[in-house]
Amino acid sequence: MLDARNQYARAQAAVAEARVQVEAHGAALARAERLLALRAGSVAELERARATKAAADAMLAAAQSDRTRAHELVTHLYGAESNAAFEADPHHVYIRAQRPGVVMARSIGAEQVVQVGAPLLVVGPRAGLLLRVDVPESALAAARTGAEISFTVPAHPERRFTATVVRVTPMLDSLARTTEVLARISGDVTLLHAEQGAQAELLAPPGDTVAVVPLDAVQRFEGDTVVITAAQRGEGMLLEAVPVRVGARSTALAVLRSGVTPGTIVVTRGAALAKAELLKRRGGSGGE
């Protein structure tokens, strides 16, 4: 871009110099014509003045052509004069997309030299913006086409966005024990962009009924995953550690796939204290 602007400046200077030469040789030609009319000059001097003036005209035309090409190069790189409203650095080069949309992927990095024709960015329509979620193996039962995902992004933690699952990768990462799930984002996506991190929660499809408890109610008890249930026993409560199978989890809730029946009372906020009491009684008397 700097070379293009320098070339344009040199072309403008060449045009200005050529115009000065045209004016000077034009005056010389007029003087030669007057002298010949007064019989104070010769025909040869007049012909030389005409030739010099024609050469100066040709040089001006060539300089103007070079200036036009230099200006077209600057305009191609920077844009038309109306782009000055963008207040961009005049030595920067605009990157223009073939269609409106959002950046989906970037093929280059900062300070990287690229060749003409090399791919720089992948641009897609805003309606095609997808959410990619690595769903853990324990939550794959809810990862099905049409399921809803609720997510937030660090840039706008107060806003919640929704997406609908459109594809579940049929392969499981053997190390992370996760599966890639793609979901199409719905609603207003003007606050979102590609390569943006998100905290997502996979929701059960409409119509499914599951048992949900606060995450604090799920405890580890002698190697098992349990919840502490409570049953009325006279004037007191009977506490019992019941093994359960946990499904999907969020930051606050957990889905129980098995282990408890509808109507069972589960200890929530005091689950850790209830577990400690059970361990104390089991260690002291062997009872529940």
Can you give the CATH number for the domain in which 218 is found? 2.40.420.20
Same domain, 231 and 268: yes
Same domain, 222 and 276: yes
Q: Where does a domain end: 174, 202, 230?
A: 202
Average pLDDT over residues 229-249: 83
How many domains, the chain? 3
Give the structural domain span for 69.
Answer: 2-86
| Residues 68 and 61 sit within 8 Å (Cβ to Cβ) | no
Instruction: Give the C-alpha distances (Å, rounded to integers) separating 246 from 43, 174, 210.
Output: 110, 21, 11
Q: Where does a domain end: 202, 231, 248?
A: 202
CATH number at residue 149: 2.40.30.170
Helix (H) / strand (E) containing 104: strand 102-106
Query: Percentage of residues in the chain with pLDDT exceeding 70?
Result: 90
Same domain, 167 and 224: no
Locate all alpha helices (DSSP H) within 159-267, ordered by sequence.
none
Residue 104 belongs to some domain of the structure: no
Q: Where does a domain end: 23, 57, 86?
A: 86
What is the token pair recorded at 144? 């099905």
Question: pLDDT tens digits for 1-11?
Answer: 788 889 999 99
Same domain, 183 and 239: no
Same domain, 155 and 135: yes
> Does the structure show a pLDDT above 60 at 85?
no
Locate all alpha helices (DSSP H) within the chain, ordered by sequence.
2-37, 43-78, 271-285
Q: Report pLDDT for 273.
A: 86
| Residues 124 and 106 sit within 8 Å (Cβ to Cβ) | no
Instruction: Enter the DSSP assignment of 203.
Output: P
Q: Which of 58-62, 115-119, 144-148 has the lowest mean pLDDT?
A: 115-119
pTM: 0.40
Residue 53 belongs to some domain of the structure: yes
| Residues 183 and 240 sit within 8 Å (Cβ to Cβ) | no
Question: pLDDT tens digits for 175-188?
Answer: 888 899 999 888 77
Same domain, 191 and 239: no
